[in-house]
């Protein structure tokens, strides 16, 4: 089972976009919101009972120490708070894919081990994933993959641009969710 964890101020947007993509792909998924470090185990048990292929959990940011000990294949970390350095450093020391908001200052002292893939998204020109334009009615954004990414199955996704539905107020969250879906192997 593929496990995706989401931490951030607008987790519901990420979960909604992922749910839409997995439903369109016919991928059985289980989504749960606002779990703390202790509630995650129960959510995984429920996902297994429901025979989910993907579990997407919105993790509460109130229990920072426990978040850093959780294991996910993909972790979407869109926290806008200053005190995220310890958790982010912990997540970067695991074998996973970490998607972060590059529009907020990331701690300067973070470093990855060789088993962590760090993917940045946002408006920042150094981001791995950016937006090149927003639709006239702010209902579509132009997703722009700046670098080659590998899916969890090892398939290379080359740099490209395509339109995705999304509100112009939620661009970073939509970029992160679509990136997580692409990495999981789902068609977007």
Q: What pairing do the DSSP bridges indicate for beta strands 160-165 and 140-145? A: antiparallel
**Over the stretch 41-64, which tens digit does the pLDDT of each residue have?**
778 888 889 999 999 988 776 655
89-141, pLDDT tens digit by residue? 566 556 678 898 888 776 665 555 567 788 999 888 889 999 988 766 667 88
Please tell me the distance from the alpha carbon of residue 16 to that of residue 177, in angstroms, as a whole number: 9
Q: In what order do the strands lie in the sheet with 29-35?
A: 29-35, 54-59, 2-8, 74-78, 97-101, 117-121, 129-134, 140-145, 160-165
Q: What is the pTM of this model?
A: 0.87
- Average confidence score pLDDT of the chain: 81
């Amino acid at each position: 089972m593929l496990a995706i964890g989401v931490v951030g101020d607008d987790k519901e947007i990420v979960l909604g976009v992922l749910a839409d993509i997995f439903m369109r792909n016919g991928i059985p998924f289980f989504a749960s919101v606002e779990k703390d470090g202790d509630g995650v185990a129960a959510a995984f048990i429920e996902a297994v009972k429901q025979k989910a292929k993907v579990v997407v959990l919105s993790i509460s940011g109130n229990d920072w120490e426990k978040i850093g000990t959780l294991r996910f294949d993909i972790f979407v970390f869109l926290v806008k708070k200053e005190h995220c350095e310890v958790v982010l450093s912990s997540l970067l020391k695991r074998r996973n894919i970490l998607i972060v908001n590059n529009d907020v200052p990331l701690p300067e002292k973070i470093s990855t081990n060789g088993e962590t893939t760090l993917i940045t998204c946002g408006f920042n020109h150094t981001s791995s994933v950016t937006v090149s334009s927003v639709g006239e009615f702010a209902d579509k954004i132009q997703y722009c993959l700046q670098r080659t990414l590998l899916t969890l199955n090892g398939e290379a996704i080359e740099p490209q641009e395509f339109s995705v539905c999304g509100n112009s107020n939620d661009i970073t969250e939509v970029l992160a969710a679509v990136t997580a879906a692409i990495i999981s192997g789902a068609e977007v």
